[in-house]
Amino acid sequence: MKKQLIRTFVLFALFLPGVSFADGEHQVFELGNFQLESGEILPSAFLSYVTHGSLNEEKDNLVLVPSAYLGDHHGFDFLIEEDKALSPDRYFIVATDMFQNGYSSSPSNTPRPFNGPNFPTIEIRDNVTAQYRLLTEIFGVSEAAAIVGFSMGAQQAFQWAVSHPNFIRKTVGICGSAIEHPHGSVRLEGFKSAIMTDAGYMGGTYIEPPTIGLEAGGTHWAAWGTSQEWFRLGLYRDMGLDSPEGFIEFFQTFVKSWDANNLIALAATWQRNDIGKTDGFNGDSEAALASIKSDVLYMACETDQYFHIEALKWEAERIPGAKFVVMPSLWGHMAGGGRSADDAKFINDQVTDFLDANN
């Protein structure tokens, strides 16, 4: 079983954000002493990213691709190919890492006094602020062709559309929301608790990884990542696994590859996501949705257990002119990352048509 699991992990990693073997080397943008929305200063902050393609002379072909939870700057590599939606021959793609994912400033790589559980509170808007500085200060652009995000990447995409309404021409949000609705927050609290109740977690001051808690967290993701029908029909066999237990062990191994404090901090950022908290909206999420000016492709998966389709439809109806598309997949939330060939093709076709429209 162990040999089979290792083989499956290597093969499936080609399609899972955060474990890609793409060739791109990540770069680092030094942010200096970075003021967060909370008012705290994160000293010597930095933003990790990779680029694909070239910025054209007009500087109007940039596409921003922010990372997802349990992912990194390689999460959309399946779309970044010559004949795909985000062709480097056509676009200049900038794929960024969120704070707290281990590449950009995170609990795991920040020195005292902000290391580990002492890392300051990060909001989705803090990520957007850092990305805005990257695009304007390093690449000198005043607008971007598009932003494409999955899961927490979609959260960043919608926040961009609110925070900088005249900067992004087209916004694509896949299996993610502009607001974290109550059930999603409760689910994430369960995941955090699975790690934090491990005695080895020690309030985040652990010396060795809290393995028991991380394995419990992996079990959580195994239960929620796909769908009930996915399990009933045995679609885990498409990953080279023989049983649901093999899928659990796969996710346990994957989650154990992450730092516990990074996971908890990222989950807390996810829980607080709400575009209504943007300056000027006083908590009015509907008004923030209505303020979006960019063209929007809002894509949901019909079996997503993280981002319920009715909540996403409710949001899309409040964005002027938004195109709402439902992905017909049994792969649940994982469909949004192109987990199966059918899902990858569906996403590629939808994003291609959307980016090509009115251009």
Q: Where in the sequence numbering do the catalytic residues fall?
A: 151, 304, 333
* Type of residue numbered 49: Y
Q: Spell out the long-range contacts of 9-14 with Cβ–Cβ below 8 A and sequence spacing 24 or more.
A: 9/250, 9/253, 9/254, 11/239, 11/240, 12/239, 12/240, 12/250
* Helix (H) or strand (E) run with residue 285 in it: helix 285-290
The residue behind tokens 């390093």 is 138
Closest C-alpha among 121, 144, 113 to residue 131:
144
- Decide: residue 43, CB within 10 A, 0-12 exposed, 13-18 middle, 19+ buried: middle
The sign of the torsion formed by the CA atoms of 292, 298, 302, 307 equals negative
Beta bridge partners of 149: 173
- Token pair, residue 141, equals 């652009």
HSE (CB half, 13 Å, CA atoms) of 193?
Answer: 6
Collapsed DSSP state (helix, strand, coil) of residue 263: helix
- Give the Cα separation of 216 and 198 in Å (integer): 9
Which single residue is written with the structure tokens 């959307």? 354
User: Long-range contact list for 227-231, CB < 8 A, 24+ apart?
Assistant: 227/303, 227/305, 227/330, 227/331, 227/332, 228/303, 229/303, 229/330, 230/303, 230/330, 230/331, 230/332
Query: What is the CB neighbour count within 10 angstroms for residue 218?
Result: 24
Give the Cα separation of 157 and 171 in Å (integer).
6
